[in-house]
Structure 1
Amino acid sequence: MRAILLGGGLALLISLLGTRIAIAQFTKLGYGQEIREDGPTTHLSKRGTPTMGGVVIVLATLVGYGVARLATGIAPSASAWLLLFLFVGTALVGFLDDFIKIFRQRSLGLRSRAKFIGQTVVAVVFGVLALWSRFNDNRDRGPASHQISFLRDWGWTLPTVVVIALIWLLVTGFSNAVNLTDGLDGLATGASGLVFAAYTIVAIWQSNQSCGATVNARCYLVRDPLDLAVIAACITGACVGFLWWNASPARIFMGDTGSLALGAALAGFAVLSRTELLLVLLGGLFVIETLSVMLQVGWFKATKRNGRPGRRLFRMAPIHHHFEMLGWEQVTVVIRFWIITGLCVAAGVGIFYAEWVAGN
């Protein structure tokens, strides 16, 4: 518990102070955000706002976790190394995307294919290593499972290639989902912080109820839950510190560096804590944002007839822009979407705890 408090608190402090320094340096270097031309006109005033703030979130998390582990004298676990690899790897993909936007002064960075390849490489390497038996502990518990999980493993044991494909889908899906959600000041940062806080609670509980020599229906077969709790607390603290400067009116944006890393980390927590399907509920807002884009594109194509343009379900997608176009203030949209995230998190954590109580 000391490592959780120390890591989370230090990450918050580093993010809070470091973001202020990043704003000054990125402004000096001209690392400003380009705004999409077809977006809400109210966003045009944000052009030039420093971006790539996700660098601070990643660094604050790494330093917070490293100091927490040095202070407790405990070496990082296999699960921690894997999760940090996923977190930093996708951050690097996002960094390249952000840098190209800045360098070429356009709202589009990496080509979609290049970004997809980068995400795929990181996700597949993570999946292969997470399933590698060499990372099993002395009780033969591996970081990832060959079964699908909601609160615990259930169903058939799946072939390795199928599991890796599912991990790839989860990582790329949620990294892009958080990226889509990062369209209003503080929206993705605040929502991500809430979900990571939920995973801190889940991992602490799994650690307290971890299976020992005897395995029963109440214990959890998670390899390194306490270490996962430390990292979750660090990312939560980093998001809270960054939110101080990212809330409306935003002084800095996290960019793809932050959004891709945060989304991938959520998927990593789901895989390593064996709660893949629970993430769909905990991260319900990100699922809604992604579905709104899929429905918008699908409906537009389905209603396209005889050279006529298709119709739209929403005034603009992702769905947070739809409410902006309806006249909602940006702050109103963000706060209400945070409330939705809070409800999803409360429901997810409640179901997680209720399942354990019902097993008593």
Structure 2
Amino acid sequence: MIAVLVAGGVSLLVSLFGTSPFIRFLTRRNYGQFIRQDGPTAHFTKRGTPTMGGVVIIGATLAGFALAFVFAGRLPSISGLLLLFLMVGLGVIGFLDDFIKISRQRSLGLSPVWKIVGQGAVGVVFSVLVLQFPNERFRTPASTQISFTRDLGWDLAYWGVGLGVVLFVLWSNFLITAWSNAVNLTDGLDGLATGVSMLVFGAYVVVTLWQSNQNCQNLSQVGGGCYEVRDPQDLAIASAAIVGACVGFLWWNASPARIFMGDTGSLALGGALAGLSILTRTELLTAIIGGLFVLIVLSDVIQIGFFKATGRRVFKMAPLHHHFELKGWAEVTIVIRFWIIAALFVAVGVAIFYGEWIAR
């Protein structure tokens, strides 16, 4: 538990005090945000605000994670390392996207095809590796089963191990692409994605600590409601480090934002969320815990689908937060109310997780 606190505290301090010099560096280099012309006109005042703040989030997370294990006096597990590999890998794709926007002075970076290819390449490597590295109980970081609060018994390897691995890679990459783009879509208002991520990853600190306390590797608990999660304590350390990084970054990212996380941060956070859902065996539960992200994506899907079918729009603009901007809501009002909605989803998700354990 102390290592979890160290991870969160160190990452918070690194993010809080490291963001300001990073802002000055980006300002000197003129690495500012470019605003899409078809967006809300109020956003034009944000043009030139430093972006790529996700570099600080990733760096603070890595620092908090590393120092927690220095304090604990042991090496991190493969589960924690694979989670950070996915986070950093997608962060690199986001960094390339942000850098192209800045260097070419436009609001579009990597083409959608290349972004998906990059996410897919990182996702495939992660998906293959999480099915390797069995421990002494022959438990790998992930399983080929679909999961809710734990594995449901719906095994993708039912028709054979080889096909099961292929299906798992496809399923895992769907989750990685979906969650990374969900956080990316949410990152449209000052502090919105950062605050929601803070709440969602905070929920996973609770989930992973509970899984650690009720883990099947404790032989006295086998046969009860224990969890077949390989390294929950290290996943709790990683989750706490991400929470701390988000809290520190939010100080600078809250309205009026002095820096944006950019795709560097949003893809990294989305990838980390997808990785946690897979490694904690809570893939479907994540859709409830991260319900605000799901709502944002659905608003975009509904808008595009309805417009193609009828030529009319359901919302004034998608994603959903821009709809309320065009209705005249203040940006801070939208952000705070969306944080409240996100907190309610988190509370429901954690309650379902705990309730399932009670029911057993």
**What TM bracket, shorter-length normalisation?**
over 0.9
Does residue 201 of structure 1 match 2:202? no
The alignment status of 1:241 with 2:269, answered yes or no, reads: no
Moved more, 218-227 or 349-358: 349-358
Aligned to 1:213: 219
One-letter identity of the residue aligned with 2:39: G
1:138 aligns with 136
Q: Mapping of 1:53-132 within 5 angstroms? A: 53-132=53-132
Counterpart in the other structure of 2:31:
31
Amino acid at match of 1:195: V
Displacement after TM superposition at 1:213 (Å): 2.8
Matched with 2:306 is 299
1:199 aligned counterpart, secondary structure: helix
Q: What does residue 8 of structure 1 align with?
A: 8
2:238 is aligned, of 231, 252, 265, to 231
Distance 2:337 2:175 in 1: 26
- Tell me, yes or no, if structure 1 residue 269 matches structure 2 residue 267: no
1:76 alignment partner, SS class? coil
Structure 1 vs Structure 2: percent identity of aligned residues? Answer: 63
Structure-to-structure mapping, 1:255-266, within 5 angstroms: 255-266=262-273
TM-score scaled by length of structure 2: 0.97
What displacement does 1:156 show? 2.7
Counterpart in the other structure of 1:156 = 154
CA distance in 1 between partners of 2:113 and 2:169 (Å): 20
Deviations 1:6-35 (A, max 9, x none): 110000000000111111110111000000
User: For 1:140 and 1:155, how far apart are their aligned partners in 2?
Assistant: 17
TM-score norm. by structure 1 comes to: 0.97
Distance 1:170 1:119 in 2: 11
Stretches of structure 2 that go unaligned for 5 or more consecutive residues are 157-163
Q: Give the letter for the 2:344 counterpart.
A: L
- Note the alpha carbon deviations across 1:122-173, whole angstroms, 9 max, x for none: 11110010012xx111111110011111011113321111111110000000
The Cα shift of 1:175 comes to 0.1
Structure 2 CA distance for aligned equivalents of residues 139 and 167 of structure 1: 23
The aligned amino acid for 2:197 is S
- The whole-number CA distance in structure 2 between the counterparts of 1:181 and 1:217 is 39
Q: Which portions of structure 1, spanning 4 or more consecutive aligned residues, are displaced by more than 2 angstroms? A: 212-215
Give the counterpart letter for 1:181 in structure 2: T
Instruction: Note the residue ranges of structure 1 that are not aligned, 5 or more in a row.
Output: 304-309
Q: Distance in 1 between matches of 2:4 and 2:115?
A: 33
Secondary structure at the aligned position of 1:294 is classed as helix
What letter matches 1:85 in structure 2? Answer: F
Aligned to 1:33, the other structure's residue is in SS state coil
| 3-state SS, counterpart of residue 219 of structure 1 | coil
> Could you tell me which amino acid in structure 1 is paired with residue 135 of structure 2?
D
- C-alpha distance in 1, partners of 2:61/2:34? 27
RMSD (Å), alpha carbons: 0.7
Rounded to whole Å, the distance in 2 between the matches of 1:311 and 1:82 is 44
